[in-house]
Amino acid sequence: MRLNYPLCLFTATIYMAFLLFTNIDAKSSVFGAESSVLRNGMRVVVVSNHRVPIASHMVWYNVGSADEGLGESGIAHFLEHLMFKGTKSYPSGQISEIVARNGGNQNAFTSYDYTAYYQNIPVEKLPKMMELEADRMQNLVLLRSDVDTERQVVLEERRMRVDSQPSSILSERLNFSLWGTNHYSIPVIGWREEIEKLSYEQIFNFYNRWYTPSNATLVVVGDITFNSVVPMAEKYYGKIKFDKNFIPRSRSSFLLQSSDIRVTMRDEKVRQPRWQRTYIAPSVNIGSLSDVYSLQVLSEILGSSSISRLYQSLVVNDSLATSIYSGYLDAAVSWGRFVIYASPSPGVSISELETKIDEQLNLIVNEGVTEEEVEVSKMRLKSEIIYAKDSPMQVAQTIGSLLSVGMSLEDIESWPNRISEVRVDQVNEIARRIFTESASATGILLPKGDD
Amino acid sequence: MACLIKIKILFFISIILLPASLSALEVVEVKSPGGIKAYLSEDHSNPLIALSIQFRGGSSSDSTRKIGISQMVSGLLDEGAGEFDSFSFRSKLENLSIRLSFDSSVDFFSGQMETLTENAEEAFNLLSLSLKSPRFDAEPIERIRRQILVSILRESESPNRIASKVMFSKLFPEHPYGFPRNGTKKTINNITREDLVNFVNTRFAKDRLIIGVAGDITPEELEKVLDKTFGFLPDTLSSDWLKESVKPKFFGTVVIDKDIPQSTLYLAKEGISRNNKDWYAALLANHIFGGGSFTSRLMKEVRVKNGLAYSVSSALFPFVASDLLVASAGTRNTSAKKSLEIIIDEWSKFGASGPTDFEVQEAKKYLKGSWPLRFTSTQSIARTLVSIQRDNLGINYIKLRNNYIDSVNLQDIRRVAKDLYDINKLSIVVVGKPEGIENKEYDG
């Protein structure tokens, strides 16, 4: 029962994007995933990995915090917590007990664009997990007292992740200003005042509206085959009724007039200043896919490694920062984002740091990156695929998140070929667009009394 | 995309899967001509090799004036070695996708390496160089020093890190376990290049080295590479890495005032040694009490029934020179007192009567069933092979481990719980503005 807080989501996805962008053999697919669709519209995706007799079983719903109604922030995540409470067949916490009794580790997470539930289990327990997950897709039972108790748990989670951490509070403010009318302006966990007021009926309506087979994807990775999983999926998930009234989500890509936003926060708990900037960027759904691949290469060159331009200039040569990195989040239903985080060296002012970062960005805008940088980065991204395929959990997570935001399995599997096609002029063009035309928000966190 | 049309036929297809076993995971001991040993789990399904190493002796072996030097060396070994300066060393790692890193804990100095098979030779060579002839050039030394100083500042922002630091310093006031593992501004600034060079010469030796390897490499290949990589190390060293064992000191309740809406609670007392014959009984007991993430007694009482915390758990920490049992929770300031009372109440109930037979059966099922989940990545297999050797568990441990769990009975667990969950020596640290919890430090 955790949630993909923007920052966590960001790191996870950056990592997997890295991994996805590559392959040794240009012809083969990345994961060798096989898929089909049940008659009720539920998608099934299977990847075999026979090293140990385990399986990662995940169900992904195409709904996240950005699908919440006005004043209902936090409802997607709150519901995710309540999904562990029980059903008619397995009331009062029995789901967790059954998963544990079967040697399983389970959890769930909520993001802007998806909500996912998973069990990692000894492979022979797969049918039981499917039975449980299919059951709670349609038969959730909520007691009003459960909702009230769990609300306190969610608020406690918010206190831990956000309210006690100045850097999280800053990120909330920054996103709110940057995204404006876009739903990404609202934190996944929700505003405290709204979490406090969410009603039993609102939560249940949300559940009824979104938790339905044609809005879900089953991903199974492990010591199984497509042919063994499909009949199992048919038996447990296939019997759930198709909801003919279901309307898939639609999101606006509307953005307010582009602007540069700056948020400065001072807090007495802060001992070490921080600097961050987010640019609104294309995603797998907005803009062309070649922009997405070019941005991945750009991020790799700019700040994704210890030999990147930002690290070498700011941290190694000028000693202005102790850490700096850039990342690109492409897995989004609406816009993506390109981010840069930095931590100044002791005694270095934030403005000195920022001037130098801007200098590096301008250098790319004006002079571009080199052919060699592009080729080396592509090669580097390429070999990461071997790591990406190593753990079943990682594979399930990568495939599930990208499918949930609307990428096709074909596109996921053919990323290595597409990354090979990235050219230096494309990288330079997208760099110019992002760093000179995109809306951005710069956040500065300072100790109290600093300027 | 293939659609499912022949639904009816599917009913005849058996969907029963056979029970899992870890028989595919064979572990062999490899011994090089030069006498260097490693555990290996061979697996050629993915062209990837993972290696994990540990040297006995971690931050608790650092000299008092230079505490944090283990951490600093771990940050510097992959910042230039032999003929390669920092940039060319890092470029080689990045461009060949070799993952190499070092770390230190209180008791061990460890390293991890992962590489694609095709770059294995270069990877082992870089690993060897980093241990044999790290350059310790001025630029990386000052850079890593700055990074550690900043990380010390950041730690002082985190309620969890504050609580744990205070807890260790109070439990082990006279012992290196009580000192800050990453050092202080003063000790980090004390460290010179000479100290770093000296560290490498006085802390790494064959008789302190433990090696675990997994993935796409044969025993014959590994034999050769072991000598090439580690053969230069001295057989033994005169200095002693092992610290005298120490009992955690009871210190009462310490409240650290911090203006945040949530209180972080830590409760600690003496734990149990990994080599104690009752280890598995203790493991089961703690799983039932606070280790099982969704099903433990603490989780049910504090979170599920009362909604007082998001995270609440307990864990056993068997260190080399001491052992701890620690519970922790994050709870709003206004109900910190109530949460603490519930945890203490559960603690004493568990000490007095132990778990029920049903709880024990359930815990056994979970711990046995989830064992294969430990082996889902090449790196996690290599890591486990190191701990198996470190704790002297035997080469067949992966297969035998579930029998050890099975052989524990209810009486064992109750006997162990009585001692382990004795409420009298429980020390408490609270960070936040907890209402109704007073500082009551005991310094007798």
**CA pseudo-torsion sign A188, A189, A190, A195:** positive
* Per-residue model confidence (pLDDT) at position A260: 87
Residue in B closest to A309 by C-alpha: B87
- pLDDT tens across A14-70, in order? 333 333 333 333 345 889 999 999 999 999 999 999 989 999 999 999 999 999 999
The angle formed by the CA atoms of residues B402, B420 and A105, to the nearest 5 degrees, is 40
Cβ under 8 Å to A: B residues 153-212? 153-154, 156-157, 159
Comparing CB atoms, the residue among B10, B47, B368 nearest residue A234 is B10
**Burial track A13-49 (b if 16+ CB lie within 10 A, e otherwise):** bbbbbbbbbbbeeeeebbbebbbbbbebbbbbbbbbb
Contacts of A132 (CB under 8 A, 6+ apart): A90, A95, A98, A99, A119
pLDDT-derived band at B114 (thresholds 50, 70, 90) equals very high
Q: Are strands B37-42 and B209-215 parallel, antiparallel or unpaired?
A: parallel
Mean pLDDT of chain A: 91
* Placement of tokens 């989780």 in the chain: B299
Please tell me the distance from the alpha carbon of residue B254 to that of residue B155, in angstroms, as a whole number.
Answer: 19
**Burial track B90-101 (b if 16+ CB lie within 10 A, e otherwise):** bbbbbbbbbbbe
- pLDDT tens across B51-76, in order? 999 999 999 999 999 999 999 999 99
Please tell me the distance from the alpha carbon of residue B404 to that of residue B394, in angstroms, as a whole number.
Answer: 13
* Per-residue model confidence (pLDDT) at position B292: 82
The angle formed by the CA atoms of residues B275, B277 and B279, to the nearest 5 degrees, is 70
Reduced to 3 states, what is the DSSP secondary structure of residue B14? coil
* Per-residue model confidence (pLDDT) at position B238: 80
* Per-residue model confidence (pLDDT) at position B294: 86
* Per-residue model confidence (pLDDT) at position A18: 33
As a 3-state breakdown, chain B gives helix, strand, coil percent values, each rounded to 5, of 45, 20, 35
- pLDDT tens across B83-95, in order? 999 999 999 999 9
* CA diameter of chain B: 78
- pLDDT tens across B146-201, in order? 999 999 999 999 999 999 999 999 999 999 999 998 999 999 999 999 999 999 99
The answer to whether B370 contacts A270, with C-beta atoms less than 8 Å apart, is no
Residue in B closest to A107 by C-alpha: B294
pLDDT-derived band at A252 (thresholds 50, 70, 90) equals confident
Q: Are B204 and B127 in contact (CB under 8 A)?
A: no
* Per-residue model confidence (pLDDT) at position A12: 31
| Kind plus residue range of the DSSP H or E element containing A437 | helix A424-437
* Per-residue model confidence (pLDDT) at position A385: 83
- In chain B, residues with a C-beta closer than 8 Å to the C-beta of A383 are 96-97, 116
Cβ under 8 Å to A: B residues 273-312? 292-295, 300, 303-311
Outline where DSSP puts E strands in A7-53. 34-37, 43-48
Please tell me the distance from the alpha carbon of residue B406 to that of residue B85, in angstroms, as a whole number.
Answer: 53
- pLDDT tens across A299-334, in order? 999 999 999 999 999 999 999 999 999 999 999 999
pLDDT at B219 over 60: yes
Identify from A22, A123, A214, A306 which residue to disrupt to test chain B contact, counting B C-beta atoms within 10 A and taking the largest count.
Answer: A306
- pLDDT tens across A188-210, in order? 999 999 999 999 999 999 999 99
Please report the number of interchain residue pairs, chain A to chain B, with beta-carbon separation below 8 angstroms: 224
- pLDDT tens across B366-379, in order? 999 999 999 999 99
% of chain A residues with pLDDT over 70: 93
Number of other CB atoms surrounding residue B21 within 10 Å = 13
- In chain B, residues with a C-beta closer than 8 Å to the C-beta of A396 are none
The answer to whether B362 contacts A54, with C-beta atoms less than 8 Å apart, is no
Q: Touching check for B9 and chain A: CB below 8 Å?
A: no
Local structure of residue B245 (DSSP, 8 states): P
**Phi and psi torsions of A216, nearest 5°:** -130, 155
- pLDDT tens across B280-337, in order? 999 999 999 999 878 999 999 999 999 999 999 999 999 999 999 999 999 999 999 9
- pLDDT tens across B391-434, in order? 999 999 999 999 999 999 999 999 999 999 999 989 999 999 99
> What is the phi-psi region of residue B80: left when phi exceeds 0, alpha when psi lies from -120 to 50, beta otherwise?
left
Local structure of residue A69 (DSSP, 8 states): P
- In chain A, residues with a C-beta closer than 8 Å to the C-beta of B96 are 383
Cβ under 8 Å to A: B residues 72-101? 86-87, 90-91, 94-97, 99
Local structure of residue A23 (DSSP, 8 states): -
**Amino acid letter, B105:** S
* Per-residue model confidence (pLDDT) at position A112: 97
Reduced to 3 states, what is the DSSP secondary structure of residue A273? coil
pLDDT at A422 over 90: yes
Cβ under 8 Å to A: B residues 12-31? 13, 15-22, 24-25
The answer to whether B372 contacts A50, with C-beta atoms less than 8 Å apart, is no
pLDDT at B440 over 80: yes
| Kind plus residue range of the DSSP H or E element containing B103 | strand B99-104
Please report how many Cα atoms fall inside a 13 Å half-sphere around the Cα of residue A21, on the Cβ side: 30
Catalytic residues of A: 80
Comparing CB atoms, the residue among B116, B293, B376 nearest residue A52 is B376
* Per-residue model confidence (pLDDT) at position B14: 36
* Per-residue model confidence (pLDDT) at position A14: 32
Local structure of residue A83 (DSSP, 8 states): T
